A = this chain, B = another copy of it.
Amino acid sequence: MLKVGLLGAGRIGLVHAVNIAGNARSSLAAVADVNADAAQKLASNYGAAVRSSRDILDDPAIDVVLIATSTDTHSELIESATAAGKAVLCEKPVDLSLERARACLAKASATRSPVMIGFNRRFDPNFASVRKAAEQGEIGKPELLSVTSFDPSPPPVAYIKVSGGLFRDMMIHDFDMSNFLMGARPVTVRAVGSSIVDPEIGRAGDVDTAVVTMTFEDGRIAVIKNSRRAVYGYDQRVELLGSEGLLQAQNMLENTVVKSTAAGVMSAKPTYFFLERYMTAYAAEWEAFVSAVLEGRPMPVTLEDGIAALAMAEAATSSARTGEAVEVAY
C-alpha cells in the first residue's frame, strides 16, 4: 500500500485524490496547499492530514508525492521530492522553461527516484486502443497522424498571460500524443497560429487557433489542430493513416440517445470538458503509476517525455512567430 502525499488541492488535485483513495494499493496520507481551506476540505473527505510540502517531503512514511501545484513550482518540487527519495507523479508541463526542465531532469535522474509526467491522455481507453492497434501492425506502417484537439471555451486572458502560450499550455498534450502514437519524435516543426477566437488573446501575445505540421526522420508526417473554442464541447480526436488502414478515435458522447424529428436527427454532444472525458484516463494513469512503482518497472511516461513535448512546444512557438520551419532541439 503506497502512502501518498498530495501537493496541490485544486481542481486537478481533487481528481487525483479520488483515484488515490479508490485504488486498492494506495491511500491518501497527506495534503498540502497554499490555500489552507482547500487543503482542509480535501483532506477531511479522505481522512488525510493537512501538512506543509516540506513536512510531507521529509516524512519517511510517505512513499509517493503527487505534484499538482502551479506550473512554476514543478521543477523545484520534482527536485526536492526525488532528493527525498520519493517516487513522483507530476502534472504536465514540467516547466515553462525548457532549460529549467533540463536542469530538473539532470538533478532528478541523479537520484534514481522514479518520476512520471501526467500525460493523462495516454491512458484514455480510446487513444490507448489506437496505440495498441498501431503497435500490433493492424494498419501496417503508420504514415500520417492527425490530432484534433479543441477546448470548449478559452480560459481567462489573465490565465493565458502566465500560461506560456497555447503551444506550451494546451498543445503540449497533443505533442505528447503524437510521440505516443507515432512512436517517434519529429525532426522539424512548422506552426501557424492566429487569434480569431478572441482578439484579447492576440493582444496578450498568444494565439487561440493553431495548426502544427511535423515531419519525421523517415518521411512520416503529423499534423495537430488546436482551437480554444468548440462550442459543442470538448473535441478530442485522432486519426492515424497507415499503409494498411486508418485508425480513428472519436469523441465520447454524453449519451447514446438519437432523436429524429421533422427538424433532423439529433444526437448527444461530446462530453463537455476534460474532467468528464478523461475521468477513466486519470484513474488508469494512477493505476499505471502505482503498478510501476510497486513492481519496480519503468515509468510509463518519463521526465524525458515531458521534456520532449516541451521542446516541441518551444519549437512551435518559435515557428509561429518567425513563420519558418524549426528543427526541434531535444
Per the bound structure, the CA–CA distance linking A241 and B124 in Å amounts to 24
Per the bound structure, the CA–CA distance linking A268 and B248 in Å amounts to 12
A256 touches B126 (CB 8 A): yes
A11 contacts partner chain B, Cβ-Cβ < 8 Å: no
B209 touches A196 (CB 8 A): no
- Choose among B150, B221, B233 the residue that contacts A209 (Cβ–Cβ < 8 A): B221
Per the bound structure, the CA–CA distance linking A190 and B319 in Å amounts to 12
- Give every chain B residue within 8 A of A254 (Cβ-Cβ): 125
A255 touches B125 (CB 8 A): yes
A38 contacts partner chain B, Cβ-Cβ < 8 Å: no
Per the bound structure, the CA–CA distance linking A117 and B192 in Å amounts to 31
Per the bound structure, the CA–CA distance linking A168 and B187 in Å amounts to 27
- Choose among B211, B220, B230, B323 the residue that contacts A221 (Cβ–Cβ < 8 A): B211
Which of A106-114, A259-267, A294-302 contacts the other chain?
Answer: A259-267
A324 contacts partner chain B, Cβ-Cβ < 8 Å: yes
A205 contacts partner chain B, Cβ-Cβ < 8 Å: no
- Give every chain B residue within 8 A of A233 (Cβ-Cβ): 260
A273 contacts partner chain B, Cβ-Cβ < 8 Å: no
A225 contacts partner chain B, Cβ-Cβ < 8 Å: yes
A1 contacts partner chain B, Cβ-Cβ < 8 Å: no
B261 touches A257 (CB 8 A): no
B211 touches A223 (CB 8 A): yes
- Give every chain B residue within 8 A of A229 (Cβ-Cβ): 243
Per the bound structure, the CA–CA distance linking A144 and B225 in Å amounts to 9
A245-B259, A249-B256, A258-B248 given; A268·B265 CB < 8 A: yes
- Choose among B138, B213, B225, B257 the residue that contacts A192 (Cβ–Cβ < 8 A): B213
A264 touches B268 (CB 8 A): yes
A146 contacts partner chain B, Cβ-Cβ < 8 Å: yes
Q: For A24, A210, A244, A257, which residue has the most chain B Cβ atoms within 10 angstroms?
A: A257
A219 touches B196 (CB 8 A): yes
A318 contacts partner chain B, Cβ-Cβ < 8 Å: no
With both beta carbons as reference points, the residue of chain B lying nearest to A224 in the complex is identified as B223
B261 touches A245 (CB 8 A): yes
- Give every chain B residue within 8 A of A255 (Cβ-Cβ): 125-126, 129, 249
B261 touches A139 (CB 8 A): yes
Per the bound structure, the CA–CA distance linking A95 and B217 in Å amounts to 34
A34 contacts partner chain B, Cβ-Cβ < 8 Å: no
Q: Which 4 A-B pairs have the closest CB atoms?
A: A194-B219, A245-B261, A232-B260, A250-B256
14 residue pairs bridging A and B, Cβ less than 8 Å apart: A143-B209, A196-B219, A209-B221, A211-B213, A230-B260, A231-B245, A232-B246, A232-B264, A246-B260, A246-B261, A248-B258, A260-B270, A265-B267, A267-B267
